[in-house]
Chains A and B, each alone.
Chain A
């Protein structure tokens, strides 16, 4: 596999690192065709991504989506929930991409992460279902919507939500305020904050996850 890879610019850090720590190769288009199996191709892309090759990274992530869905299906995740598993797995892959060892199977590494995320999604769904049962009972017994108590509760909920948003890390809070509360488009929010649209999207996703965890106790 190594012969099919082409060296990119040398990195200062890598010059002092041993072989296992180096991530100093990228995969060219010509080399892609020389790698015989999809799994080896994905492994080479991920190795290149560890060195900072964005094109290889986006390729391997896109190629990983069907594998993540397959892992989610094997765990018994419904089609409706598979998008969540895909999203969570891709974010986890991004965070722990340094743990991938190019000498080992990329598919096994990815599938293990996806299976864990699928189990997390199933647990989360189970907890949500349990709560929804209580919500239905509450709905049956719900007083008139113009009731003063209901209005107070709504105010309290809004207050709690504002508090929760205020407690988010600055980047995530900014994303919620710009994209959620002020309903700005990504381009407008990017122009206003000086942040890249990608960073805003990821911050928003993480903020929503944190808020869900706070209000629903989801991990």
Chain B
């Protein structure tokens, strides 16, 4: 069967304009680049607050360490998925990859809330102090999200909103993991709700704005 109205002239035109291109780096490499920035922030926080307080808390309350590890796994996997979704033809099912880390993070944090019942004397965050956590997560998430969007500038996410949600999740999870370095309180319900609100705000803001920012390749 002959091809009707083959756009030969357009193909020739595009052939005339062809120039060599530099391939997009693989998702894992761009994830590592982003994690370097997270590492720099972590080093800055450790330099300022020191590691002693963090390690003492982790030994005393292992669920906090587990929650931090869960947040870090969520951040790494969500960032990788965001980069993977920037390549046409990659399955959207990868969006479920951050789920195990997310469950670990939320589960361990929820377990920490029981501390207030089991150990009533433990110092827990007040609403005001929880507000500081919210500001920390949001303010650290902004540059981390901007960096992810910048690293995706040459990509072609065919599902830009989903990619933007992954960017928000990665940034918020990384910020929550970084918060563990300087978090001065045991996890209480108010604290957990504040963290959840902060993560929700970051993910929603990315979904609303990032979807548009990630579209230039499709215009």
Which residues of A are in contact with B by a Cβ distance under 8 Å?
Answer: 11, 13, 17, 20-23, 49-52, 54, 57-58, 61-62, 65-66, 69, 83, 86-87, 90-92, 94-101, 104-105, 108-113, 116, 120, 196-199, 201-202, 205, 219
Contacts and interface: CB of A to CB of B under 8 A. Distances in A.
B117 interface: no
B163 to A, nearest CB: 13
6 contacts: A62-B6, A91-B10, A92-B156, A92-B217, A99-B87, A101-B26
Contacts of B3: 65-66, 69
Interface stretch (B13-21, B49-57, B66-74, B176-184): B13-21
The 7 closest A-B pairs by CB, nearest first: A198-B13, A198-B16, A52-B20, A108-B89, A98-B21, A109-B89, A112-B88
Nearest to A53: B18
Contacts of B156: 92, 96, 99, 113
A198 B12 contact: yes
A17 B21 CA distance: 12
A83 B7 contact: yes
A205 B89 contact: no
A202 B14 contact: yes
Interface string B1-32: 00111111111111111111111111001000
A91 B24 CA distance: 18
Interface of B: 3-26, 29, 86-90, 154-156, 158, 217-219
**Interface residue SS majority, chain A:** helix
Contacts of A202: 10, 13-14, 17
Contacts of B158: 112-113, 116
A199 B218 CA distance: 20
A50 B20 CA distance: 5
Interface centre among A20, A49, A50, A96 (most CB of B within 10 A): A96
Given A52-B20, A96-B217, A112-B158, 7 more contacts: A50-B20, A54-B16, A69-B3, A109-B89, A112-B90, A116-B88, A201-B9
B12 A58 contact: yes
B119 to A, nearest CB: 51
B89 A20 contact: no
Interface centre among B3, B13, B26 (most CB of A within 10 A): B13
Nearest to B5: A83
B79 to A, nearest CB: 18
Contacts of A105: 89
Contact of B155 (A92, A99, A112): A99
Given A96-B88, A109-B88, A113-B88, A21 B23 contact: yes
